[in-house]
């Protein structure tokens, strides 16, 4: 056969008129196969699309409509235009407080969490014995982190008579109730989120395994030290994975609910220092029955997350390196 070494033609490039008939035949076969694969993929995706359409989309659109009304869950509703949206910024200091708490939480805990995850992944990647065990142990908090049980445990760990203070006591430091003090309560939740570094760590580990060893060998021969290798080989080749983790964790952190809800006893105690955005939405909707206002806040959160994600994608052009460009 002639022309068997033809490289796959980039999508959308003009067909090569000089190519042989058999190559064109192979092309057609490939296209057919791809169509079949696409069909299979859509078939597998169908249940998800069905769920989206019939279960999620309805309430989603309904809540968008409700965000322009004063719907109160057990009463009627009137169209009030953008009032709910302006109220957030002009007439609701608690909303701003919740937004501030959540922003601090996200922008402090996510970078720290990713740094920890990367550090641990690097250590584990060095071929420790019993890697599988370590991986599982470090991954465990990711599975447990957002559970009620862990949040209750956190109250104990950072309470006045908690584990953390007993630890400080070993060094003669006098602790206090970290969850009862408005200036430190949010900090304990940040620590909790950082502690759940397992899932980005596992993804980092997979990313590290993708980097060819011969890059390091070549760099080593050229006299590059470990630190240089890390910054000039590992980090650039890992940027797509870092980017992926960043987006995922940012979105997740903005939606944190359980931890704050349990640690604060459901009301943002003390002094609203742990009042998270989603918690405030929940409280307004199901405690105050202001479902219209809660819907507006929920949609504003969607906008925030969408903008942030879009911004991230824009910025990614400048720092994320995909092997082929």
Partner 1 sequence: MPHRQRTARLCVALAATGALVTTAACGGDSGSGDDGKVTLKVSWWGEASRHKITEQAIDLFEKQNPDVTVESSYSTWDSYYDQLTTKVAAGDAPDVFAIEIRKLGEFGRKNTLADLKGRVNTGDLDPKLLSSGKVDGTQYAIPTGANAWAVMANTAVFEKAGVDLPDDSSWTWKDYEDVSTQLTEAGGSGIYGTQINFNDAFLNVFAAQRGESLYDNGKIGISTGTLADWYQLSADMIKTKGSPDAALSNELDANSIEQSLIGTNKGGMGMWWTNQLSAAGTASGEKIELLQMPQAPGATSSGMFLQPAMFWAVGAHSKQQQAAGKLIDFLVNDPQAGKILGSDRGLPMNSKVLKEIRSDLPPADQASLDYVDKVRDKLADPPAAYPDGAADIPDMLKRYGQDVVSGNKSPDAAAEGFLKEANSTLG
Binding segment for partner 1 (CB under 8 A), chosen from 67-75, 234-242, 296-304, 316-324, is 67-75
Do residues 179 and 188 touch, judged by C-beta distance below 8 A? yes
Q: Which residue of 30, 31, 36, 176 would you call a contact of partner 1, by CB under 8 A?
A: 176
In the chain, the DSSP E strands lie at none
State which of positions 228-267 bind partner 1 (CB under 8 A). Answer: 264-267
Binding segment for partner 1 (CB under 8 A), chosen from 10-18, 180-188, 201-209, 211-219, is 180-188
Q: How far apart are CA 246 and CA 238, in angstroms?
A: 12
State which of positions 40-59 bind partner 1 (CB under 8 A). Answer: 54, 58
- CB within 8 Å of 297: residues ≥ 6 apart: 84, 88, 95, 277, 280, 281, 284
Expressed in angstroms, the distance from the first to the final Cα of the chain is: 32
Write the DSSP string, 285-297: IIIS--HHHHHHH
Q: Where do we find the tokens 């009030």? A: 80
Structural element, H or E, at residue 258: helix 258-263
Other C-beta atoms lying within 10 Å of the C-beta of residue 90? 8
Q: Which residue of 28, 40, 48, 75 would you call a contact of partner 1, by CB under 8 A?
A: 75
Examine residue 168 and tell whether it contacts partner 1 (CB under 8 A): no
Q: Which three-class secondary structure state does DSSP give residue 69?
A: strand
Specify the residue, 103 or 271, whose C-beta has the smaller distance to partner 1: 271
State which of positions 106-145 bind partner 1 (CB under 8 A). Answer: none
Q: Which residue of 51, 182, 212, 220 would you call a contact of partner 1, by CB under 8 A?
A: 182
| Least gap, CB of 122 to partner 1 (angstroms) | 38
| Least gap, CB of 146 to partner 1 (angstroms) | 16
Examine residue 160 and tell whether it contacts partner 1 (CB under 8 A): yes
Binding segment for partner 1 (CB under 8 A), chosen from 26-34, 99-107, 179-187, 314-322, is 179-187
DSSP state of 6: P
Examine residue 288 and tell whether it contacts partner 1 (CB under 8 A): yes
Specify the residue, 200 or 272, whose C-beta has the smaller distance to partner 1: 272
Other C-beta atoms lying within 10 Å of the C-beta of residue 21? 7
For residue 69, list its beta bridge partners: 79
> Is the bond leading into 129 cis (omega within 30 degrees of zero)?
no
| Positions that interact with partner 1 (CB under 8 A) | 54, 58, 72-75, 155, 159-160, 176-182, 264-272, 283, 286-289
């Amino acid at each position: 056969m002639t022309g068997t070494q033809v490289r796959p033609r980039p999508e959308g490039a003009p067909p090569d008129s000089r190519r042989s008939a058999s190559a064109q035949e192979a092309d057609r076969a490939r296209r057919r196969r791809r169509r079949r694969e696409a069909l299979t993929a859509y078939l597998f995706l169908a249940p998800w699309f069905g769920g989206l359409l019939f279960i999620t989309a309805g309430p989603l659109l309904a809540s968008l409509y409700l965000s322009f009304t004063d719907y109160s869950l057990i009463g009627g509703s009137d169209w009030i235009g953008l009032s709910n949206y302006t109220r957030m910024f002009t007439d609701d200091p608690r909303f701003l407080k919740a937004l501030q708490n959540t922003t601090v939480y996200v922008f402090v805990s996510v970078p720290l969490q990713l740094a920890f995850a990367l550090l641990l992944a690097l250590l584990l990647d060095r071929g420790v014995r019993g890697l599988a065990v370590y991986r599982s142990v470090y991954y465990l908090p990711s599975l447990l982190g957002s559970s009620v049980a862990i949040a209750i445990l956190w109250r104990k760990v950072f309470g006045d008579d908690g584990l953390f203070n007993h630890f400080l006591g070993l060094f003669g430091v006098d602790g206090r109730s970290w969850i009862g003090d408005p200036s430190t309560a949010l900090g304990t939740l940040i620590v909790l989120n950082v502690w759940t570094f397992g899932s980005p760590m596992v993804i980092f580990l997979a990313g590290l395994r993708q980097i060819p060893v011969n890059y390091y060998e070549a760099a080593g021969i050229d006299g590059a030290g470990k630190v240089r290798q890390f910054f000039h080989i590992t980090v650039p080749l890992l940027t797509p994975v870092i980017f992926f983790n960043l987006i995922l964790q940012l979105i997740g952190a903005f939606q944190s609910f359980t931890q704050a809800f349990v640690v604060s006893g459901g009301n943002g105690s003390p002094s609203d220092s742990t009042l998270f955005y989603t918690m405030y939405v929940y409280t307004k909707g199901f405690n105050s029955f202001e479902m219209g206002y809660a819907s507006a806040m929920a949609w504003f959160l969607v906008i925030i997350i969408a903008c942030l994600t879009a911004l991230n994608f824009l910025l990614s052009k400048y720092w994320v390196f995909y092997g082929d460009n």
